[in-house]
């Protein structure tokens, strides 16, 4: 009995039948998990790239449509500007023609019926001597005393030397010199009518400057 007990004590321990998983199995499962996760990430990236490509294609199409619409708008705007410019030029030409026709009719009327100056009879005081002015009758003209002076030139001739002035086309000094020359060749009693005709020589900015101003003389017009 003692021998049996001694042999049982000296026997090496047997390995347990229940052992844990091997290390290489754990490593293999970890690699499989990582590979699956990487595959999911790769699929997500590819799907996102595909959506971005679709969006880029849509944006390119929209950009092309915008460019075409812009070109069409620019073309229509250019045609509109040309139409407006032609219309403005036509209206300006018609306005000038109407002004010229009205001015010609007014000049013709004034030439046919020149203004008659008003004369005020003055009673001279009695004197004890007689006086005869040198050079003949009053004014040195061919008519008798008190007769109105004869018109030197017609209104048409006086205004034809005055150019059209809109504030930009010619220098102001050139227009004022022409107005003074026109005033010098008409009688003083006709200056008011001459001034009205000279106003018709103005246009745009120059006309607006005197539109509401009383101008009964050439001096008031050009000052």
Q: pLDDT at position 41, please?
A: 93
Residue 36 lies in a domain: yes
Half-sphere exposure for 212 (CA within 13 Å, toward CB): 0
pLDDT at 123: 44
Q: Which residues contact 154 (CB under 8 A, 6 or more apart)?
A: 107, 111
Judge whether 44 lies within some domain: yes
How many Å apart are CA 188 and CA 185, to the nearest integer?
A: 9
Structural domain for 195, as ranges: 155-221
How many domains are there within the chain? 2
Q: Tell whether 51 is covered by a domain.
A: yes
Examine the fold and report which residue of 95, 110, 125 is the final residue of a domain before the chain moves on: 110
Q: Is residue 121 situated within a structural domain? A: no
Tens of each residue's pLDDT in the chain, 223 residues: 454 454 545 555 544 445 556 777 888 888 888 889 998 999 999 999 999 999 999 999 999 999 999 999 999 988 899 889 888 888 888 888 887 777 777 677 666 655 554 444 444 444 443 333 333 343 344 444 444 445 457 888 888 889 999 888 999 899 999 999 988 888 888 888 888 888 888 888 888 888 888 888 888 888 7
Q: What span, in angstroms and rounded, lies between the C-alpha atoms of 61 and 51? A: 15
pLDDT at 152: 57
Q: In terms of domains, do 96 and 42 share one?
A: yes
What is the rounded distance in angstroms from the CA atom of residue 65 to the CA atom of residue 220?
A: 62
Whether residues 105 and 34 share a domain: the answer is: yes
pLDDT at 45: 93
The domain boundary, picked from 110, 143, 165, lies at 110
**pTM, rounded to two decimals:** 0.38
Tell which of 110, 138, 163 closes a domain.
Answer: 110
What pLDDT, on a 0 to 100 scale, did the predictor assign at position 10?
52
108 Cβ contact partners less than 8 Å away, ≥ 6 residues apart:
156
CA atoms 158, 160, 165, 171: torsion sign: negative
Q: Length of the chain in residues, anyone?
A: 223
What's the pLDDT score for residue 19?
55
The pLDDT value recorded for residue 20 is 55
Residues 93 and 164 in one domain: no
> What is the per-residue pLDDT for 142?
42
At 32 the pLDDT is 85
The answer to the question of residue 16 being in a domain is no
In a domain, 148, yes or no: no
Q: Within a domain: residue 29?
A: yes
Q: Is residue 50 in some structural domain?
A: yes
> What is the per-residue pLDDT for 16?
47
């Amino acid at each position: 009995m003692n021998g049996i007990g001694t042999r049982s004590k000296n026997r090496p321990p047997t390995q347990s039948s229940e052992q844990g998983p091997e290390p290489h199995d754990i490593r293999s499962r970890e690699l499989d998990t990582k590979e699956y996760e990487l595959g999911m990430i790769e699929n997500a990236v590819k799907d996102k790239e595909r959506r971005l490509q679709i969006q880029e294609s849509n944006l390119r199409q929209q950009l092309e449509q915008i460019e075409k619409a812009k070109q069409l708008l620019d073309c229509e705007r250019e045609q509109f500007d040309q139409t407006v410019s032609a219309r403005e030029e036509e209206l300006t030409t018609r306005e000038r023609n109407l002004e010229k026709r009205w001015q010609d009719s007014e000049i013709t009327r004034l030439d046919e019926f020149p203004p008659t100056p008003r004369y005020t009879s003055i009673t001279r005081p009695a004197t004890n001597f007689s006086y005869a002015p040198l050079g003949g009758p009053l004014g040195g003209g061919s008519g008798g005393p008190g007769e109105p002076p004869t018109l030197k030139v017609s209104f048409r001739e006086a205004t034809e030397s005055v150019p059209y002035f809109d504030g930009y086309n010619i220098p102001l000094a050139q227009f004022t010199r022409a107005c003074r020359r026109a005033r010098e060749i008409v009688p003083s009693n006709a200056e008011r009518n001459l001034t009205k005709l000279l106003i018709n020589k103005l246009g745009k900015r120059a006309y607006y400057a005197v539109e509401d101003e009383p101008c009964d003389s050439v001096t008031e017009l050009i000052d």
